[in-house]
A and B are shown apart, each in its own frame.
Chain A
Amino acid sequence: MDGHTLDYAVQMKNITKFFGTVTANHQVSLELRNGEILALLGENGSGKTTLMNMLSGIYFPDSGTIKIRGREVTIRSPRDAFELGIGMIHQHYKLVEPLTAAENIVLGLPGGMYVNRRQVNEKVREISRRYQFDLNPKKKIYSMSVSEKQTVEILKALYRGAEILILDEPTAVLTPQETEKLFTVLRNMKEDGKSIIIITHKLHEVLAISDRVTILRKGEYIGTVETAAATQEDLTEKMVGRPISLEIERPKTQRGEEMLKVVDLTCLRPDRVKALNKVSFSAYAGEILGIAGIAGSGQKELCEAIAGLYPVSGGSILYNCQTDGTQVMENIVGQRSDQIYRKGISMAFVPEDRLGMGLVGSMDMVDNVMLRSYRRNPGIFVDRKKPKEISEKLIRDLEIQTPGVHTPVRRLSGGNVQKILLGREIAYEPLVLVVAYPVRGLDINSSYKIYDMLGEQKKKGVAVIFVGEDLDVLMEISDRILVLCGGKVSGVVKPEETTKEKLGLMMLRVTQDEEVIE
């Protein structure tokens, strides 16, 4: 073995992985040097996570070789990976909620029946000190914020002696401040000699943290470049395959009437904790109201309450609607969905869980298009003629890639699924449109198509409410941004009068106040 190979912590060569007839990775190679931070860049669906899952033992490659520290290895299970010193922090955390941080960290480790908690806590504190983590090992997971949970996941990997760390989209759910903190920790770990791969599709983060960038596109290896020599423009071009403008168009419109007025809205979670606490705001025709907040700040409950799907324990949700030619603000609290519809309230909702709530994955496009309207025609039989026409129109207008209207929507890609969902909701010409995380998991092309569609609705005079997680996007697309924190409104701001950092602080404000009180 020559000295050259020993410089590398990981060498993956010509890795290919099929899922059925889909090629997730085709002849992909990747090299991670010792003590570097490598960014793995690519659009959603480009095979980044698949590639890393083969390194962490979740999938097994169909062909290709993997070398760890110069030695060829077979990684058949997560246990194999962890014995080789590879630790992966997944996008969806795998933690046991009722247990403490320390208990989660030692869970599944070999050893006797008993856990020496004091010793574990001490070691966790020691690792935390070394890399400047901020974590109380005795805290239970369920009372933790998203960023703390992530810290536990990273500590779990470090505790097991991981030398090679893989982080899958670690910043997707963090505020700008939390992201900065994470990056500090990653730099400390790098100083300590750890080798790190960070999966991301955010370019400014790539430039901020990594030493080198490996780019994948549609499951193929495009190349590796030194970060210092890279620019946002050429990284985008490599990632998408052609030059693309990253500006989101924000059409200028005249703000119209108040279409939705929410007053002192309070909702309880099943565990009686307030998910929303006296939330008040208005949405106007011809504007996009952005809603920002760290994950779980009440966004989901707010959307569902507005859509009449979440039990409301206080306050009112007033819709502007025409009754006998006169305009009235109609309260939907406590009304069933068919009553709401009969009042002439025309509201559309694109929920965050597309296949778990917005669509029926096993059904075809026609059955999905009629999901919200099948009851409108009389009789006991469903009428599939009109939904079929709408489906065909959607396929043409939105360039939906599908074998046909009768293919189960679950088989389609995320972008196409979202186009069907948003397309259906728009097809019934709503006055208020609520969209929750509409581009999550979508590739750049589909994302921009979705932004265009929302801009189009705004121009038509629809009041659009856009719940998002990417502050850059929210700043670009929204006319106003409402920031939620712990179920309360911590402010409504105009994007041109604020900064990302200020938004980040607003997203954390209420929690900080509470800490001061304690």
Chain B
Amino acid sequence: MKGQRMIRMVKRDAISSKKQWMIRGIALVGALLAGAFLILSLGHNPLAVYKDMLAGALGTPTVRRETVKLAIPLLITAIGISFAFQMRFWNIGAEGQILMGAVCAGYFAFFQYDNLPRPLLILVMMLAGMIGGGIYGMIPALFKAKWGTNETLFTLMLNYIALAFIKYLKNGPWKAPHSQFPKMAMLDDRARLGKILGIHWGWILALVLVVLAYFYFTKTKQGYEISVVGESTDTARYAGIPVSFVLIRTMILSGALAGLAGMLQLAGSDYTITESTAGGVGFTVITVAWMAKMNSFGMLAVAVFIAVLERGSNKIQTTFKIPASAAEVLTGMILFFMLGCEFFINYKLVVSKREEAGA
């Protein structure tokens, strides 16, 4: 019989964390090498481009602040969807929940700013953002609990409704006075967030949430219930956990965090609401949450990593005139390698030769 090679996948039993990081390191190097070919084909020096990417994201205090500003909504929303994901509720509607949070906060920011003292205004905006996002997150959970609807489609569709709603607001009732274009006004200074170390204080809130989320999942009854429901609804039923109630409660929390991110985006970064207020954050955070394996500290690292990539790819577009699409392909490749290497952490490949098996 002729010798044939067979490659098979074998699930790994356990892997040391040292080896895990080695695999991730190799993946990063692989990604940079693959990216280098792309850059070369565009006629640039890969080393220079990579250096510029880093400089653009972390080089000066100003760009560092911009990077952190980008990471804040990623981190808070990622924590939000991880609540749903832990429960195996595939909430891909964070985009819509962010927008609804921004809209609800926006009502107070745009129209009530002179009726409320400033600290109270900001507090009310935060609450409104969380309630708006929370309700928007609750709707699909309610339908799933009552009628077993598919949450993936449901949350996805709600995104488009939220987008259309914003389009309606900026064209109609919330259109900025005296503006020729369909857009909303800029926020009054009183409705804008203060800065700490040059960045709006949402970053402190995000860090607090990282710790709180960690404790919520490891120490509280509610977090424990989410894990049980996520593993098996039969087990949850058996344990006497009211599954529908947990489903709805958790999605309110999940949506509320996304809504909070929307409020921070409005009051701390954009100072207005547009269709791009969420700007794909609701989808990017799916990557963040998965890469971090739902661990909130991991999400902190991944959110910063992705923010660095994004800032970096913006920078090389201006420096090297690399088209935006090519820069996106480059970041996509890096993410692909980083996500793909998880396969090699869970599985190993075994090459077996027929002759050996026969011997």
List residues of A whose CB falls within 8 A of some B CB: 19-22, 60-65, 72, 74, 76, 307, 309, 336-338, 341, 349, 351, 353, 356-363, 367, 371-372, 374-375, 380-382
CB–CB A357/B357 < 8 A: no
CB–CB A356/B240 < 8 A: no
Would you give the shortest CB distance from A35 to chain B, in whole angstroms? 28
CB–CB A359/B8 < 8 A: no
| Docked pose: A372 CA to B234 CA in angstroms | 13
| Docked pose: A362 CA to B226 CA in angstroms | 13
B195 in the interface (beta carbon within 8 A) = no
B219 in the interface (beta carbon within 8 A) = yes
Sample of 7 more A-B contacts, CB < 8 Å, known A336-B242, A382-B220: A60-B8, A307-B238, A357-B235, A372-B238, A374-B221, A381-B219, A381-B221
Question: 9 closest pairs, A vs B, by CB?
Answer: A20-B13, A337-B240, A357-B234, A360-B231, A371-B239, A21-B13, A357-B238, A381-B219, A382-B221
Interface centre among A76, A361, A380 (most CB of B within 10 A): A380
CB–CB A380/B220 < 8 A: yes
CB–CB A382/B240 < 8 A: no
- B8: which A residues are within 8 A, CB to CB? 60
Partner of A382, one of B13, B219, B358: B219
CB–CB B224/A367 < 8 A: yes
| Docked pose: A359 CA to B235 CA in angstroms | 7
- A349: which B residues are within 8 A, CB to CB? 238
From known contacts A65-B358, A309-B237, infer whether A380 and B227 are also in contact, taking CB-CB under 8 Å. Answer: no
Interface centre among B13, B238, B242, B352 (most CB of A within 10 A): B238
B222 in the interface (beta carbon within 8 A) = yes
| Docked pose: A255 CA to B215 CA in angstroms | 50
B residues contacting the other copy or chain, number (CB 8 A): 29
Partner of A360, one of B10, B13, B235, B356: B235
Partner of B357, one of A64, A360, A381: A64
CB closest residue in chain A, given B1 = A72
- B227: which A residues are within 8 A, CB to CB? 360, 362-363, 367
CB–CB A356/B235 < 8 A: yes
- A382: which B residues are within 8 A, CB to CB? 219-221, 224
- A374: which B residues are within 8 A, CB to CB? 221, 224
CB–CB A20/B220 < 8 A: no
Q: What are 23 A-B pairs with beta-carbon distances under 8 A?
A: A20-B12, A21-B13, A22-B13, A60-B6, A62-B352, A62-B357, A64-B357, A65-B358, A74-B1, A76-B6, A309-B238, A337-B240, A338-B240, A357-B232, A359-B235, A360-B228, A360-B231, A360-B235, A361-B231, A367-B227, A380-B222, A381-B220, A382-B220
CB–CB B221/A380 < 8 A: yes
- List residues 1-43 of chain B with CB under 8 A from any CB of chain A: 1, 4, 6, 8, 10-13
Secondary structure call for the A interface: loop
CB–CB A360/B237 < 8 A: no
- List residues 329-359 of chain B with CB under 8 A from any CB of chain A: 352, 354, 356-358
Would you give the shortest CB distance from A307 to chain B, in whole angstroms? 8
From known contacts A20-B12, A21-B13, infer whether A375 and B358 are also in contact, taking CB-CB under 8 Å. Answer: no
CB closest residue in chain A, given B357 = A63
Would you give the shortest CB distance from B101 to chain A, in whole angstroms? 25
| Docked pose: A93 CA to B88 CA in angstroms | 28
Would you give the shortest CB distance from B6 to chain A, in whole angstroms? 8
- B235: which A residues are within 8 A, CB to CB? 356-360, 371
- A358: which B residues are within 8 A, CB to CB? 235, 238
From known contacts A337-B240, A375-B240, infer whether A363 and B354 are also in contact, taking CB-CB under 8 Å. Answer: no
CB–CB B234/A362 < 8 A: no
| Docked pose: A336 CA to B1 CA in angstroms | 66
Partner of A356, one of B1, B232, B358: B232
Would you give the shortest CB distance from A407 to chain B, in whole angstroms? 11
Would you give the shortest CB distance from B181 to chain A, in whole angstroms? 49
CB closest residue in chain A, given B348 = A20
Would you give the shortest CB distance from B2 to chain A, in whole angstroms? 11
Partner of B234, one of A72, A353, A371: A353
Would you give the shortest CB distance from B219 to chain A, in whole angstroms? 5
| Docked pose: A63 CA to B359 CA in angstroms | 9
CB–CB B232/A61 < 8 A: no
| Docked pose: A60 CA to B358 CA in angstroms | 13
- A338: which B residues are within 8 A, CB to CB? 240
Would you give the shortest CB distance from B123 to chain A, in whole angstroms? 23
| Docked pose: A375 CA to B240 CA in angstroms | 9
CB–CB A351/B238 < 8 A: yes
- A74: which B residues are within 8 A, CB to CB? 1, 4, 354
Per-position binary interface string of chain B over residues 234-263, scored 1 when its CB falls under 8 Å from any chain A CB and 0 otherwise: 110111101000000000000000000000
Interface centre among B11, B222, B240 (most CB of A within 10 A): B240
| Docked pose: A363 CA to B220 CA in angstroms | 15
| Docked pose: A353 CA to B221 CA in angstroms | 24
- List residues 199-243 of chain B with CB under 8 A from any CB of chain A: 219-222, 224, 227-228, 231-232, 234-235, 237-240, 242
| Docked pose: A337 CA to B239 CA in angstroms | 8
CB closest residue in chain B, given A361 = B231
Would you give the shortest CB distance from B297 to chain A, in whole angstroms? 20
| Docked pose: A341 CA to B239 CA in angstroms | 12
- B354: which A residues are within 8 A, CB to CB? 74
CB–CB B231/A371 < 8 A: no
- A72: which B residues are within 8 A, CB to CB? 1, 358
| Docked pose: A231 CA to B221 CA in angstroms | 56
| Docked pose: A370 CA to B193 CA in angstroms | 44
- B10: which A residues are within 8 A, CB to CB? 20
| Docked pose: A356 CA to B219 CA in angstroms | 23
| Docked pose: A63 CA to B227 CA in angstroms | 40
- A356: which B residues are within 8 A, CB to CB? 232, 234-235
- A20: which B residues are within 8 A, CB to CB? 10-13
CB closest residue in chain A, given B238 = A357
| Docked pose: A351 CA to B236 CA in angstroms | 13
CB closest residue in chain B, given A337 = B240
Would you give the shortest CB distance from B234 to chain A, in whole angstroms? 4
CB closest residue in chain A, given B356 = A63
Would you give the shortest CB distance from B13 to chain A, in whole angstroms? 3
- B238: which A residues are within 8 A, CB to CB? 307, 309, 349, 351, 357-358, 371-372
Would you give the shortest CB distance from B178 to chain A, in whole angstroms? 51
CB closest residue in chain B, given A65 = B358
| Docked pose: A362 CA to B230 CA in angstroms | 11
CB closest residue in chain A, given B216 = A380
| Docked pose: A355 CA to B173 CA in angstroms | 55
CB closest residue in chain A, given B352 = A62
| Docked pose: A338 CA to B239 CA in angstroms | 10
CB–CB A61/B220 < 8 A: no
- B222: which A residues are within 8 A, CB to CB? 380
Interface centre among B4, B232, B239 (most CB of A within 10 A): B239
